[in-house]
Structure 1
Amino acid sequence: MASSIKDPREEVLQAWYMDDSEEDQRLPHHKEPKQFVSLEQLAELGVLSWRLDADNHETDPELKKIREERGYTYMDVCEVCPEKLPNYEEKIKSFFEEHLHTDEEIRFCAAGSGYFDVRDRNDAWIRVWVKKGGMIILPAGIYHRFTLDESNYIKVLIVYDSTNDSLTVAN
């Protein structure tokens, strides 16, 4: 009998192949017909994911374990929205510029939601919708970009060590 137990990460993370539309970057941009990407397919690209306790991230034992295993001792908080981010329009455009890092990029959504777009091995864009409680790790060397969704708000925890170069959201 097949298991019908749903992966709890699916409540806070969804992924799909994007269309080529030039419409507002904050829209979902699903292909027609929709082509969803499983969390396992993301993992094959090196994109790791978790569902964590966003309301108690300071004491979440799973987040503590992940940070210890990966050697991440620092954590910053960044709120991306017109009211809280200086130079919002300029910053949101720069976040949506395709780029890569020499270290992995770790983002935990403590509130709100947004899109992390990653390239697959054939250079097609996959949109990863991260909602409150979702955490992703983008591997070093993967082309990616970020944008808000239509809610226009995300509060992310940026986890890193002192040598990490992936602090583009915090800077």
Structure 2
Amino acid sequence: MSKVHVTTTVNGDQAEFLCEPRETLLDCLRDKLHLTGSKEGCGTGDCGACSVTVDDRLVCSCLMLGVEAEGKEIKTIEGMADGENLRPLQAKFIEHAALQCGVCTPGILVASEALLKKNPDPTEEELRYWLAGNLCRCTGYDKIIRAVMDAAAEMRETS
């Protein structure tokens, strides 16, 4: 099978890679671009560990083909990095002990950031609904919800 050349933007930088037509975006991010923050938890789009945004739309990268990234704007968990400084979401996850093993954390952070970009003042019900596609087997969801709600409040105060 011949490889396909893909040109895309990942975390603000132009990226190019060759991939098989059947390779997932998750595999391309991890294996071709060495962005290993997104995790494969299930490979069926049920856990959210591989969540990224594509053109500001939250997607499970295990369900998207790498070739579909052509010309798209992709943001991964690595795109949240701000040098040495933590973003409010990251700081609140630490403060609220909203992570343990770390498999789900990248996807939950990406999903939470996508929600807060669309709706900077979500209700708890809206947040729980938004994060329903992200499974966490370690912390339970209360700490995660508290961290995101606290970060949203802080972000509103500073904007």
TM-score, L = length of structure 1? 0.27
Pick the structure with more helix per residue.
Answer: 2
Higher relative contact order (CA 8 A, sep 6+): 1
Pick the structure with more strand per residue.
Answer: 1
TM-score, L = length of structure 2? 0.29
